[in-house]
Structure 1
Amino acid sequence: MSKGVLLVNLGSPDSTDPNDVKKYLDEFLMDERVIDVPFWARSLIVRGIILNTRPKKSAEAYEKIWWEEGSPLIVLSERLQEKVNELTSVPVALAMRYGKPSIKSGLQELHDQGVDEVLLFPLYPQFAMATTETIVVLAEELRKKDFPNMEFTTVPAFYNHPDYIRVLANSISEKLKGVDYEHILFSYHGVPKRHIRKSDITKSHCKIDGSCCQTPSPAHQFCYRHQCYETTRLVAEYLELKKETYTVTFQSRLGFDPWLQPPTDRTIERMGINGTKNLAVVTPAFVSDCLETLEEIAMEGKEIFHEVGGKDFTVVPCLNDREDWVKVLARWVDEWAFSEPVKA
């Protein structure tokens, strides 16, 4: 069999035009694993409310961070794919869960090169319904329909993989070298609490009560909250951070459902009010800088912090196409290509 790799990231609108943003948001928010309510209710929420109000505001946000080459997330993902491809022994293609290039086009690209065994590589360190799971489900649907002779191997969540922890920790220490920060926020993308419970394969472990994430359980294999806290714990251990010097928060709330707490924006505000002058933020749920890191954190978060008396606000870039990250991905790919499993 001929092997190949499909790197899959979130995606982006084709441009900052509100019509393109509306098209993208429709595909994204109509995903039943993003807004997990019955179709009629999802249509009412998304197409009846959100798409009539949000595209213009979102388009303005994208305009703030858009690069001359295009969407930062797309450009950075392309750079990563190109660099990994140069170092590996098998072809590496790129796809987005929403927008272009699509997962179908990525699989077609590999198919046209004779590939019939694919390493499906969601570019998300932590597992979540709205990220890893939706990629795997769609890819499998496409395989059955359009690529029946293909076989998939999916890279598991690598939130605790020593290679990932080392690279992430080194990226933090490099950015904060010489920076007089008082506290680090580990800001992860938020999800509704019900997503945590729905992903609980034991159907009983996840209470989201402050203790279940520290109590060993098979549920942790698919528990986004546990994996966020574990990533933070391992990085803090690697960097020898004292517990009182860092906090885990969750950003990007949508709607009125109970989401994971504490919220990043309110934590930034509270810390500034309480006298923190120098704050650093790292966003380990993302491997590529995007709207949520470049605008929501680096711009909005900074503005909030300054408005309440904060002074220095340092944002650690995502791993993007760092050389050490590229080498890790290339090694994982080659280990798989030569039948040695990528362990997480």
Structure 2
Amino acid sequence: MKGVLLVNLGSPDSPEPKDVKPYLDQFLMDKYVIDVPFLLRALLVRGIILRKRPEESAHAYKKIWWEEGSPLIVLSQRMHKKVQQKTEMPVSLAMRYGKPSIETGLQELADKGVTEVLLFPLYPQYAMASTLTILVLAEEIRKKKFPQMTFTDVPAFYNKPDYIKVLANSIKRSLEGFNYDHLLFSYHGIPERHIRKTDVTKSHCKINDTCCVTQSAAHKFCYRHQCYETTRLVVEALGLPEDKYSLTFQSRLSGDKWLEPYTDIEVNKMPANGIKNLAVVTPAFVSDCLETLEEIAMRAKEDFQENGGKEFLAIPCLNDSDEWVAVVANWINEWASAEIPVA
């Protein structure tokens, strides 16, 4: 019997420091997030970061927390419910960090007799700290707890035509009636070394103006290339002129070289460069979360306006929109009726 496990990032149980701290510990101690030896990672995370970060993050979470709970969890649950209504197969929802766990999700499927699982990371672009860590943990759990199961992984869908169409349509609807000067594509940042580590050719990725547009097998796992390609395809679908948009990366940690240009720095410079009305879309996420609701819709907006900007529009993620749900359900049903993996 076939079933599906949708997997998103996750969230603390509450916006209180006592719940934020264990969530951050689980997240930051992931070797695919902070990819240094365990002892050094423990020193950085538990000896330094977790001394102040839980209070700071809790403050940010409190600003975006809904009455029903974490926006990311609530939106993921809504999407899950809608997807389930469009397929006869069992569909479960899990989070890489926090609850419900991947093990819980797999157990739900196993209890329903599922032996073939479509593992669906809800990330358009592939990255070590998102897609890979989900796939690795799920496989570890499968071997220990569910050896009877087999997995089919949904690959990064950053360039799939139906995804691009839904994303472009969502942006177009959001921009109606908004006289914007510029559309910013802001993607979650990652350390540059992650790009090099996922380069299957071990030589292609130079992180410059040419490698991401030069055909290579490395692109299958290159987050930077996939961000630029998503942007290119959406821009093409919207018919945007070259001077009307740009791409940046957000949410970096100090101490490492992360992908550039940085969202906060670029946003702060825009008013002085004549951009007074700014729209921002965050295509690395399919569900609104702390990084979109607080970092972009609140902090970036405040910084933009303090530096002379006027109107700021944070474009919502795809969330549980009917068009996006229909695409996800269609991919699932295609897999259910085929003998070949989702592509």
TM-score (ref. length: structure 1): 0.99
- The residue number in structure 1 matching 2:97 is 98
- The residue number in structure 2 matching 1:139 is 138
- The residue number in structure 1 matching 2:40 is 41
Displacement of 1:256 after TM fit? 1.4
Superposition RMSD in Å: 0.8
Contact 1:27/1:98, CA 8 A, preserved across alignment: yes
SS class of match (1:255): coil
Contact 1:4/1:119, CA 8 A, preserved across alignment: yes
What pairs up with 1:224-235 in 2 under 5 angstroms? 224-235=223-234
SS class of match (2:319): coil
Displacement of 1:123 after TM fit? 0.1
Q: Which amino acid aligns with 1:76?
A: L
SS class of match (2:287): coil
Check if 1:26 corresponds to 2:32: no
| Displacement over 3 Å in runs of 4+ | 340-344
Q: Which amino acid aligns with 1:224?
A: Y
- The residue number in structure 2 matching 1:169 is 168
Displacement of 1:343 after TM fit? 5.2
What residue ranges of structure 2 are gaps of 5+ in the alignment? Answer: none
Distance 1:43 1:72 in 2: 29
Distance 2:15 2:319 in 1: 22
Check if 1:318 corresponds to 2:309: no
Percent of matched pairs sharing the same residue: 69
SS class of match (2:174): helix
- The residue number in structure 2 matching 1:302 is 301
Displacement of 1:107 after TM fit? 0.1
Distance 1:312 1:88 in 2: 41
Q: Which amino acid aligns with 2:195?
A: I
Contact 1:183/1:278, CA 8 A, preserved across alignment: yes
- The residue number in structure 1 matching 2:329 is 330
Deviations 1:69-127 (A, max 9, x none): 00000000000000000001201100000000000000000000000000000000000
Distance 2:264 2:340 in 1: 39
Q: Which amino acid aligns with 1:78?
A: Q
- The residue number in structure 2 matching 1:275 is 274
Change (3 A) 1:256 1:147: same
Distance 1:73 1:297 in 2: 15
Distance 1:324 1:343 in 2: 19
- The residue number in structure 1 matching 2:56 is 57
Deviations 1:201-245 (A, max 9, x none): 000000001110000000000000000000000000000011111
Contact 1:188/1:249, CA 8 A, preserved across alignment: yes
Contact 2:196/2:202, CA 8 A, preserved across alignment: yes
- The residue number in structure 2 matching 1:264 is 263
Deviations 1:163-189 (A, max 9, x none): 000000000000001110010110000
Deviations 1:301-336 (A, max 9, x none): 000000010000001100000000000001100000
- The residue number in structure 1 matching 2:247 is 248
Contact 1:335/1:341, CA 8 A, preserved across alignment: no
Displacement of 1:339 after TM fit? 1.1
What pairs up with 1:156-235 in 2 under 5 angstroms? 156-235=155-234
What residue ranges of structure 1 are gaps of 5+ in the alignment? Answer: none
Distance 2:38 2:271 in 1: 41
Count of residue pairs the alignment pairs up: 343
Distance 1:342 1:306 in 2: 47
- The residue number in structure 2 matching 1:126 is 125
Distance 1:341 1:150 in 2: 17
Distance 2:78 2:286 in 1: 12
Displacement of 1:19 after TM fit? 1.0
SS class of match (2:147): coil
Contact 1:15/1:21, CA 8 A, preserved across alignment: yes
TM-score (ref. length: structure 2): 0.99
- The residue number in structure 2 matching 1:14 is 13
Displacement of 1:342 after TM fit? 6.3
Displacement of 1:340 after TM fit? 5.8
